[in-house]
Amino acid sequence: MSADAAKPASGLKNPMFLSALILAGAAFIYLFAVQPAQMSIDKAKRALASLTDQQRVVERDLKDSARVKGMLAEIDAAQKPYLDALLTPLLESWAMRAKSLLDPIAADVGLGILDYSEQPARALPLPKPSPRQLYARHPIRVVCKGSYAEIASFVLRVEKLLPYVTLQSLLIKAQKDPDAQSAELVFEWPAKGELSVPALPPGGGAKK
């Protein structure tokens, strides 16, 4: 073969070599630059989607938490008058606790209370074993002096402010002065006390 015929073949090899070199470079760039970058982007997208889902769950839980807190607050508010009506010992005296609750009500209606005293408690059925907290219906005798209107207003206010308290008995001894009638009331109270607190004997009272 002549030298002139070999020149075109040599000229063809250079472009093919360059093309192969370019393709190899492109493949290298794709494999070691573009593909890892794409994988990193895809991984970041998946992480972002996961975080977005977690944020939605957290926001939903926060809304549910706020709703539950609101419901609990409503329940607590509804229970408060009844829980406040539970009689608990004050200085180991049931009558002293009753005095602390009834004196402000009596003062509001202008009724004068002369004496508080405890009556025998009526125990409520308890499960076995007995709980640390004991519950009973505890009568408290109240001796007071005032007009018929003041006595009636006092009883109505007690029933309204202390819903668990019930009037067990009412005795009014008529006096010449209509504004100074003598009355004896017995309120039966839901009572709660610790098992270790000894019961006071009947008649233990709290003087005004």
CATH 1.10.10.60 for the 94-207 domain, yes or no: no
Helix (H) or strand (E) holding 207: strand 205-207
pLDDT of residue 140 exceeding 80 = yes
How far is CA 57 from its chain centroid? 23
Burial class from Cβ neighbours inside 10 Å (0-12, 13-18, 19+) for residue 168 reads: middle
* pLDDT tens per residue, range 182-205: 899 999 888 776 544 444 444 444
Q: Which tokens belong to 193? A: 């006390």
Burial class from Cβ neighbours inside 10 Å (0-12, 13-18, 19+) for residue 115 reads: middle
* pLDDT tens per residue, range 100-125: 889 999 999 889 888 898 888 776 66
Q: Which tokens belong to 93? A: 């005296």
Residues in CB range of 82: below 8 A, 6 or more apart: 163, 164
Query: For tokens 């005004």, what's the residue?
Result: 208
- Angstrom distance (rounded) from CA 50 to CA 107: 65
pTM of the model: 0.52
At residue 176, the pLDDT reads 85
At residue 131, the pLDDT reads 54
At residue 141, the pLDDT reads 92
